[in-house]
Chain A
Amino acid sequence: MLEIRNLIASYGPVLAIRDISFTADAGKITTVIGANGAGKSTLLRVISGLEPATSGSITWQGHSLLNKTPEAIVRLGVAHVPEGHAVIASLTVAENIEMGALFRRRAHKQDVRVAISEMYALFPRLEERRNQLAGTLSGGERQMLAISRALVSRPSLLLLDEPSLGLAPLVVEQIIATIKQLCISTGLSVLLVEQNANTALAVADHGVLLSLGSVVADQPASLMRADSALRSAYLGY
Chain B
Amino acid sequence: MDTALTTLFLGTTRGAVFALVAMGLVLVWRGAGIVNFAQMGQAMFSTYIASSLIISGHGYWFAFATALIAGALLGALVDVAVMRPLTKRSHSGILASESMRATVPVIASLGILGILQSLAGMLWAAEERGFPSPVSDVAVKAFGKTAPFTNFDLFIIIVVLLTLAATTLFFTKTGMGLAMRATALNPEVARLSGIRIGRVRTLSWAISGVASSLAGLLITPSANLSPNTLDLILIVGFTAAVVGGLESLPGSVVGGFILGLLIAVVNVYDAPDDVFLALLIFLLVVLIVKPGGLFGSKRVRNV
Question: A residues near B, CB below 8 A?
Answer: 48-50, 69-71, 74-75, 79-80, 82, 86-91, 95, 98-100, 102-105, 149-150, 153
- Chain B 186-199: CB-based contact to A (< 8 A → 1; otherwise 0): 10111111111100
Bound: A48/B191 CA distance, A = 10
Query: Number of residue pairs across A and B with beta carbons under 8 Å?
Result: 67
Question: B residues near A, CB below 8 A?
Answer: 175, 178-179, 181-182, 185-186, 188-197
Contacts A90-B185, A91-B182, A91-B185 given; does A102 touch B193 at CB 8 Å: yes
Contacting pair A153 B193 (CB below 8 A):
yes
Contacting pair B191 A99 (CB below 8 A):
no
- List A contacts of B196 (CB < 8 A): 71
- List A contacts of B178 (CB < 8 A): 91, 95, 98-99, 102
26 A-B residue pairings within 8 Å (CB atoms)? A70-B192, A71-B191, A71-B194, A71-B197, A74-B193, A74-B194, A75-B194, A79-B192, A82-B188, A82-B192, A87-B189, A88-B186, A91-B178, A91-B181, A91-B185, A95-B178, A98-B178, A99-B179, A99-B189, A99-B190, A100-B194, A102-B178, A102-B193, A103-B195, A149-B189, A150-B192
Bound: A89/B185 CA distance, A = 9
- List A contacts of B190 (CB < 8 A): 88, 99
- List A contacts of B182 (CB < 8 A): 88, 91, 99
Contacting pair A88 B189 (CB below 8 A):
yes
Contacting pair B195 A50 (CB below 8 A):
no
B104 CB to nearest A CB, Å? 21
- List A contacts of B192 (CB < 8 A): 48, 50, 70, 74, 79-80, 82, 86, 150
- A75 — nearest CB in chain B belongs to which residue? B194
- B91 — nearest CB in chain A belongs to which residue? A12
